[in-house]
Amino acid sequence: MRSVSVIGIGETRIGRFPERSLRDLIQEAGEKALDDAGIGRWNVDALYTSNFNAQFLCGQGHIGPLVSEVLGLESIPALRVEGACASGSLAFRQALIAVASGMYDVVLVGGVEKMTHQPTEIVTAGIASASDMEREVALGATFPSIFAMIANRYFHEYGNVRDEMAMCAVQNHENALLNPDAQLQKRITVEQVKNGLPIAYPFTIYDCSLVSDGAAFVVLAATDVAKAVSRKRIVEVIGCGQAGDTLTLASKRSLTTFSATMNAAKQAYAMAGIKPSDINLAEVHDCFTITQIINIEDLGFFEKGKGARAVAEGKTAAKGVIPINVSGGLKAKGHPIGATGLSQIYEVVTQLRGDGGERQVRNAEVGLTHNIGGTAATCVVSIFRGR
Amino acid sequence: MNRCGTIFTYSVVHSGTDAFKDKTPYVVALVAENQGISLARVEGYTEGKLINVGMEVEFFAEDENGNPIYKFI
């Protein structure tokens, strides 16, 4: 396998832009990534796109050629990857494998999602389709309620972590204050989180990630090619793992440990030849506040059952021992579903290049992204190192 | 004796999909019965009712997909 590096990144601001079209979002983020890579369109060998739900929310399928047309990529191979909220990192992994294999030298990966033009019930139904329609949604389960059941089980097994969950939201909002691409720039308190609009007990609206529009793109190249063309710090992809799990909540072996995360992380750490304590910062999939606590345990940053305490002690804050979601995460930067995995990579690459500005993490050499789809039924973990 | 199960975990849904928005708040739960665990809806929730893991619920019916519906005792 060849070494592969990220040579370009681009994203739109994440937010509520009901007036912006899919084309518009694609054009802005795609052109930014190509410009950032400093390469011409004729250098791109293939296009991997990710999108979760445009067919339902916008009536638009066939995203591959749409992106190709908007960016003037003409006849190169283009395809779309779908894996619910993990779509972006799944497309990234497919592109990575294609370049590592020697099939292509330079590949563009792009994700897009447009959600906020639809009313809440439609968005809720769209997101629910990431779970099982016959066995879960038909009974009245919503996506938040599925993770709320995980939270209540976590409370039963490890103790009530309601306050610490709220602190995850508070910290992510705090981090987003310094991210110009973030959807919400608003400081919140633990009390506000706990007393917010109830969505699915024990979650209030503040425990849930955002409904967002946005796009994020990444340019991957064989590291040898990257060295020849790149004017920026090259960020090498040193590890990547993917694992799956059953679709439904009821069929999972454990609700408080996500086996897809455990297995994907194990692969990624082994490929990179490093351990969790070598990671300087991580963007983890905080679709709900409980998920952030479970993720930092499953990724090996903290022992099982100790994640909540680590959050309360500030260990995951921007200046903590392992800064988590310095971008603001899905909670405050936003969650344009098909673009989210690539938006996480955007942040880690920005940090490893030292371009984080006010939110720059000190000594950022190795960063990790963790992206899950559905009820942790799909997971991709990727590890990056600045060269 | 009535068929019963115990709550493995649960949530009270306040924001439902279109098909269920008139039923809120309502309870969904993983219910354990005969060593198996299924997702179920539990009927008869009223605001403020205390629910906990391990609580017994009584089987009520199956929905059109064969999913179990229980009710609070």
Is residue A123, in this structure, part of any structural domain at all? Answer: no
Is residue B72, in this structure, part of any structural domain at all? Answer: no
**A128 contacts B17? CB cut-off 8 A:** yes
Chain B residue at shortest CA distance from A202: B11
Is residue A360, in this structure, part of any structural domain at all? Answer: no
Q: Is A76 helix (H, G, I), strand (E, B) or coil?
A: coil
Q: Is the pLDDT of residue A164 over 90?
A: yes
User: Which value, to the nearest 10 degrees, does the dihedral of the CA atoms of residues A204, A209, A211, A216 take?
Assistant: 170
The answer to whether A358 contacts chain B (CB < 8 Å) is no
Chain A residue at shortest CA distance from B16: A142
Is residue A58, in this structure, part of any structural domain at all? Answer: yes
Is residue B6, in this structure, part of any structural domain at all? Answer: yes
Is residue B4, in this structure, part of any structural domain at all? Answer: yes
Confirm whether A208 is a catalytic residue: no
Over residues A276-333, the pLDDT tens digits come to 999 999 999 999 999 999 999 999 999 999 999 999 999 999 999 999 999 999 999 9
C-alpha A332/C-alpha B54 separation (Å) is 35
Q: Is the pLDDT of residue B1 over 90?
A: no
Is residue A333, in this structure, part of any structural domain at all? Answer: no
Is residue B29, in this structure, part of any structural domain at all? Answer: yes
Q: Mean pLDDT in chain B?
A: 95
Residue of A152, A156, A251 to mutate when probing chain B, most B C-beta within 10 A = A152
Is residue A328, in this structure, part of any structural domain at all? Answer: no
Check: complex ipTM more than 0.90: yes
Q: What is the CATH number of the domain that holds A46?
A: 3.40.47.10
Hey, which bits of chain A come out as E strands? 4-11, 46-50, 78-81, 106-113, 198-200, 203-204, 214-222, 235-244, 281-283, 366-373, 378-386
Structural domain harbouring A80 = 4-118+211-229
Query: Model confidence at A242, in pLDDT bands (50, 70, 90)?
Result: very high
Q: Which residues of B touch A124 (CB under 8 A)?
A: 15-18
Is residue B71, in this structure, part of any structural domain at all? Answer: no
pLDDT at A121: 86
pLDDT at B35: 83
Name the residue among A122, A138, A145 with its Cβ closest to that of B13: A145
**B63 contacts A200? CB cut-off 8 A:** no
Q: Is the pLDDT of residue B21 over 90?
A: no
Give strand pairing partners of A381: A241, A370
Over residues A186-201, the pLDDT tens digits come to 999 999 999 999 999 9
User: Which value, to the nearest 10 degrees, does the dihedral of the CA atoms of residues A334, A339, A341, A343 take?
Assistant: -60
Is residue A365, in this structure, part of any structural domain at all? Answer: no
Token code pair at residue A134: 């016959």
pLDDT at B2: 86
- Radius of gyration (C-alpha) of chain B in whole angstroms: 12
Is residue A341, in this structure, part of any structural domain at all? Answer: no
Q: Which residues of A touch B10 (CB under 8 A)?
A: 149, 152
Catalytic pick among A58, A85, A208, A240: A85
Chain A residue at shortest CA distance from B13: A200
DSSP B19-73: GGTTT-SEEEEEEEETTEEEEEEEE---TT----TT-EEEEEEE-TTS-EEEEE-
Is residue A109, in this structure, part of any structural domain at all? Answer: yes
Question: Going edge to edge, which strands form the sheet with A4-11?
Answer: A78-81, A46-50, A106-113, A214-222, A4-11, A235-244, A378-386, A366-373, A281-283
C-alpha A270/C-alpha A325 separation (Å) is 23
Name the residue with tokens 């079209």.
Answer: A21
Q: Is A119 helix (H, G, I), strand (E, B) or coil?
A: coil
Angle at B64 between CA B58 and CA B67, to 5 degrees: 45
With b meaning 16 or more CB within 10 Å and e meaning fewer, what string describes A316-330? bbbebebbbbbbbbb
* Residue type, position B32, single letter: A
CA of B1 to nearest chain A CA: how many angstroms apart?
26
Using a 10 angstrom Cβ sphere, with 0-12 exposed, 13-18 middle and 19 or more buried, the burial of residue A244 is middle
Confirm whether A85 is a catalytic residue: yes
Which of these, A190, A150, A185, A148, lies nearest to A167 by C-alpha position? A190
Q: How many domains does chain B have?
A: 1
Mean pLDDT for the stretch of residues A356-385: 98
Is residue B63, in this structure, part of any structural domain at all? Answer: no
Mean pLDDT for the stretch of residues A59-71: 98
Q: How many domains does chain A have?
A: 1
**A149 contacts B10? CB cut-off 8 A:** yes
Structural domain harbouring B49 = 1-12+25-57
Catalytic pick among A173, A285, A335, A370: A335
